[in-house]
Amino acid sequence: MSVWTRIAGPADVPYLEGRSVVVAGRRIAAFRLPDGWAATDAACPHEGGPLGDGIVADSCVTCPLHQRRFDLRTGRQIGGDDVVAVHEIEERDGGLWVRLAAPAALENAA
């Protein structure tokens, strides 16, 4: 039901950083990891901080506003109960492609 959208070229996101983009009216953040990519909603569920500006480690991002940490694979907050939506992201044909999580999955995740 959801579609794949090309959001950028792989070189547009620096190593171990994130950048945001609007897909289908929703701002998401794409992260370049040592072994691939991750994508989440751009806004921290706490107070809307820009997760794309956070510090990124191997599989974790820290929100720059209040240092909440989220696992980039599951979207789960580390040491807390918040969840940020995780989207599918792939690098192919020289581009970065994103498919938004289905709303139902979001509700389950939350």
Partner 1 sequence: MFSTHGILVIGGGIAGQAVCEAVRTRDTDVPVTLVCGEDHLPYDRVRLGDLLADDGTVDALRLRPDGWYEDAGVTVLTGSRVASLDPDTGTATLESGTVLHYDRVVLCTGSDALVPPLEGSDLDGVEVFRDPADCAAILGAARSARHAAVIGGGLLGLEAAHALAKLGTATTLIHLVDRLMERQLDAPAAKLLTPAIAGLGVDVRLEHATKAVLAGDDGKAAGLAFADGTSLDCDLVVVAVGIRPHVGLARETGLTVERGIVVDDRLVTSHPHVLAVGECAQHRGVVHGIVAPIHDQAQVAADTLLGRAAAYEGSIPTAKLKVMGVDLVTAGAAEGEREVVVADAAAGTYRKLVTSPEGVVLGAVLLGDARGAELLMDAVRVGRVTEDPLALLAEASQATAAELPDTAQVCNCNGVCKGAIVEAIRDGGLGSTQEVVNVTRAGAGCGSCKPVVTELLQIERAGAAEEPAYLCPCRKLTREAVGDLVRERDIVSVSELAGACGAGRDCGACKPGLSYLIEERQAAKFRQERHAKYINDRVHANIQNDGTFSVIPRIRGGVVTADELRRFADVADKYELPMIKITGGQRIDLLGVRKEQLPAVWEDLGMPSGYAYAKAVRTVKTCVGTQFCRFGLGDAITVGIDLEGAMEGLHTPHKVKAAVTGCPRNCAEAYVKDIGLVAIENGWEVYVGGAAGASVRKGDLLTTVETAEEAKRVALAYLQHYREHGEHLERTYHYMERVGLEAVQAVVLDPEQQTGLLERYAIAKAACDPDPWRERYAPVHPNQFSELDSDPEGLDLVALAAAGMEVAR
List of residues contacting partner 1 (CB under 8 A): 7-8, 12-17, 19-22, 30, 34-35, 47-50, 52-58, 60-62, 64-65, 67, 69, 78
Q: Which is nearer to partner 1, 57 or 110 (CB)?
A: 57
Kindly state the smallest distance separating residue 62's Cβ from partner 1, in Å. 6
The answer to whether the Cα torsion of 50, 66, 46, 77 is positive or negative is positive
Element (H, E) at 32: strand 26-33
Q: Which is nearer to partner 1, 54 or 86 (CB)?
A: 54
Kindly state the smallest distance separating residue 69's Cβ from partner 1, in Å. 6
Q: Which is nearer to partner 1, 9 or 103 (CB)?
A: 9
Report the candidate in 45, 1, 44 with the shortest Cα–Cα distance to residue 24. Answer: 1
Q: What's the distance, CA 34 to chain centroid?
A: 15
Asked if residues 98 and 4 have their Cβ atoms less than 8 Å apart, the reply is: yes
Kindly state the smallest distance separating residue 92's Cβ from partner 1, in Å. 17
Q: How far apart are the first and last CA of the chain?
A: 20
Q: Which is nearer to partner 1, 19 or 87 (CB)?
A: 19
